[in-house]
């Protein structure tokens, strides 16, 4: 029951952070429509998913630290899943700068 409440609490907090982030991104997009400044929207849309991904891993990391488990990092997964979206977003960022 304790573990359930821990994960449930983390899920509620992450859901709230995600909600606030999406709300902020919508506000940035509305401001960009008025001022024609896309830099803040692109920067936020590049950094926010990384922050969410790190935050989603945080509860498991805390459990592993408490159990003194060895930290693992799967390079194959990060290259296969994480790099292509980053390259896609970065290319959009570069195209916006060049305009």
What token pair was written down for 16?
């709230």
- pTM, rounded to two decimals: 0.63
If you compute the radius of gyration of the chain from its CA atoms, what whole number of angstroms results? 17
* Angle between helical axes of 83-98 and 39-66 (0-180°, round to 10): 160
Question: pLDDT tens digit string along 37-46?
Answer: 778 888 888 7
pLDDT in tens, 40-88: 888 888 788 888 888 888 888 888 888 888 877 778 877 787 777 777 7
């Amino acid at each position: 029951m304790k573990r359930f409440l821990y994960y449930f609490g983390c899920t509620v907090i992450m859901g709230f952070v995600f909600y606030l982030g999406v709300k902020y991104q919508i506000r940035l997009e509305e401001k960009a429509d008025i001022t024609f400044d896309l830099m803040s929207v692109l920067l936020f849309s590049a950094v926010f998913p990384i922050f969410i991904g790190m935050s989603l891993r945080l509860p498991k990391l805390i459990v592993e630290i408490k159990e003194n488990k060895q930290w693992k990092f799967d390079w194959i997964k990060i290259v296969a899943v994480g790099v292509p979206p980053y390259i896609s977003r970065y290319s959009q960022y570069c195209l916006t700068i060049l305009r």
